[in-house]
Amino acid sequence: MRPSAEAAAPVASGTPGPAAVPDDPAPAVVFLHAVTRDRSDFDCLRVALGRPSAALDLAGHGDGPRLGAYTAVGMAQHVVLPQGPPPVLYGHSLGGCVALAFAAARPGAIRALVLEDPPLFALSKGDGGTGAFHRGFVRLKEQMTGPLAAHSEAMWRDEVAGWGSGHGRTSTMDRFGPDGVARRARQMAAFDHRVLDGLIDLSIGDGFDPAALLRALDVPVTLIAGDPAQSSVLTADEVRRLDAEFGVRVVQIEGEGHFVHEVLPDPCLEALSRHLD
């Protein structure tokens, strides 16, 4: 078992944790990350959780498989859970959409689903996320096929150090320090920029019907909804619909929009604990 939350105090300040947290056999929780990230994104949360866990690289990220085209449904087909009893599946952003598609297609494979600020309806509407996120994907694609095409991990460190992070647009260096910059550089160096094609032309949502997928589930679902005033990808109406129409338990966050587990880990840990205790 990992150290307790008290032993992992740096998590509360949003600082990065270990460079790599090893996977446990028969994990109680399995994590799926957001676009451009990788499995290490949850290192801090996993240490603080203090329970057996694992984190996976999505297709097109980290050590995940490379595909000819990327959709949330297609990426879900490449999710392979570790052996053991059905775990809680936790998905952030695009990882939440992939987690939902996986859970609906694999009855009995998980015991509960926790979704952190996933763009469920944006994918199905063909919005590709909020306008700001879509513009960011377009710019990143232009950079990764242009001036950043040959970037090594070391070169990415210089690039990402000045990137804005969070609603206040604090730089990655100021917010997470050298270790956080190194982690983001590793993630970007291993990222298949073709994933962005689906987010730009909206094909990432092909076959993704959140209403049908939610109705197909046989497990409880918790939504960690980011603050709509701080770049959450879900609207207030969408959050209310998930509660009223699909019985999703909503944990509404104030003070952080999209990267709740990085900045406010306690609500994420509490949501997981409800499904583990």
pLDDT by residue (tens digit) across 101-110? 999 999 999 9
Which tens digit of pLDDT belongs to each residue from 16-58?
Answer: 444 478 898 899 999 999 999 999 999 999 999 999 999 999 9
Percent of the chain with pLDDT over 70: 88
Q: Are 215 and 246 in contact (CB under 8 A)?
A: yes
Phi-psi region of 27 (alpha: psi -120 to 50; beta: other; left: phi over 0): beta
Other residues' Cβ atoms within 10 Å of the Cβ of residue 218: 10
Q: In this structure, what are the phi and psi dihedrals at residue 115, rounded to the nearest 5 degrees? A: -115, 120
Q: Helices 153-161 and 172-189: crossing angle, nearest 10°?
A: 150
pTM confidence score: 0.90
Name the residue type at position 82: P
Residue 8 is given by DSSP the state G
Other residues' Cβ atoms within 10 Å of the Cβ of residue 147: 10
Mean local confidence (pLDDT), 242-261:
95
Cα–Cα distance between 245 and 134 in angstroms, integer?
28
Lowest mean pLDDT across 9-18, 214-223, 255-264: 9-18
Of the CATH numbers 3.40.190.150, 1.20.1250.20, 3.40.50.1820, 1.10.340.70, which one belongs to the domain with range 24-128+204-276? 3.40.50.1820
Helices (H), 29-171: 43-49, 72-76, 94-105, 120-125, 131-144, 153-161
